[in-house]
Amino acid sequence: MVAQLALDTPGSKTDRALSLDFVLNHKDKKLEAGFTSPWKKASLKGALQNDKARKEVNLILISDKDEYALKSFVNIAEKGSETTYTPVLEFRRPGAEGIALKGTIISEENEDIEADFKLSGATEKTVNIKGKYVNSNKMKSLSASVAIAPKNVYSTTASITIDQKKKTITKVLPSFVIKTPEGTLVSLTGSADYRKAKSLKTDLTLKMDRLLKQPIIIKGNLNRGFYFLIVIHSKAEKV
């Protein structure tokens, strides 16, 4: 597919010529576009690959004499119940170091997913980004971490462990933690015991060391329609 648009003012002493060209090649999955004016000249080239084992998109933009390039692709490999994705995203710009995000994502039958990435060029040091998702019958969890340096790590984890002792008795252990390089920012842990059609007991502990001298303890008991809640907490520290 080819499209062209041109505008001009013949006979004028001032150059006002404008042109726009667009070419799309469906067979080769490529495109080219160009824009020309008395003030700005720009061109764009792109290519697409959409195979089963590789997905790729590449773009190059030239604005006057400055070139910007975006390269992105992901390789896909399947082995048994495991699928490995290897994505790469690279961006080049004039007068600056290129930015690159590279890593792997491993998926196990969509139950367990683990990701490991490295980001370079955006900051002085390479940033490591990791994530993990677990979706089994006994555990549901999601965790992520960003390491700017070996001792400069931010992380968070949310999980629920399920213990089915009997058909009518279930114990759940929830947990939510946020950590910074200075230590644990938020920690919520505890348990919930459920007896079908009989009772529900909860015991939770919330710690926020930067705000509270003592943790907040929450206990609950749902038994035959009655619910008792006890909350023990301390005053916030004075800054």
Decide if 219 contacts 202 (C-beta within 8 A): yes
Pull the structure tokens for residue 99: 């930015």
Query: What DSSP string runs through 96-108?
Result: S--EEEEEEEEEE
Whole-number mean pLDDT of the chain?
A: 85
Residue 31 domain-assigned (yes or no): no
Sign of CA dihedral 66, 101, 156, 164: positive
How far apart CA 71 and CA 102 sit, in angstroms, is 12
Q: How many domains does the chain have?
A: 1
State the pLDDT at residue 10: 72
Kindly report, residue by residue over 170-188, the tens digit of the pLDDT. Answer: 899 999 999 999 999 999 9
State the pLDDT at residue 217: 86
Residue 94 domain-assigned (yes or no): no
Kindly report, residue by residue over 154-166, the tens digit of the pLDDT. Answer: 999 999 998 887 7
Residue 127 domain-assigned (yes or no): no
Residue 196 domain-assigned (yes or no): yes
Decide if 76 contacts 52 (C-beta within 8 A): yes
pTM: 0.77
State the pLDDT at residue 238: 37
Residue 7 domain-assigned (yes or no): no
How far apart CA 152 and CA 146 sit, in angstroms, is 8
Domain ranges, residue 179? 151-239
Residue 53 domain-assigned (yes or no): no
Count CB neighbours of 71 within 10 A: 17
State the pLDDT at residue 216: 86
Residue 225 domain-assigned (yes or no): yes
| Helical (H) or strand (E) element with 137 | none
Residue 209 domain-assigned (yes or no): yes
pLDDT along the chain (239 residues), means of 10: 69 71 82 80 88 92 89 94 95 90 90 94 91 92 94 95 82 94 93 83 88 83 65 47
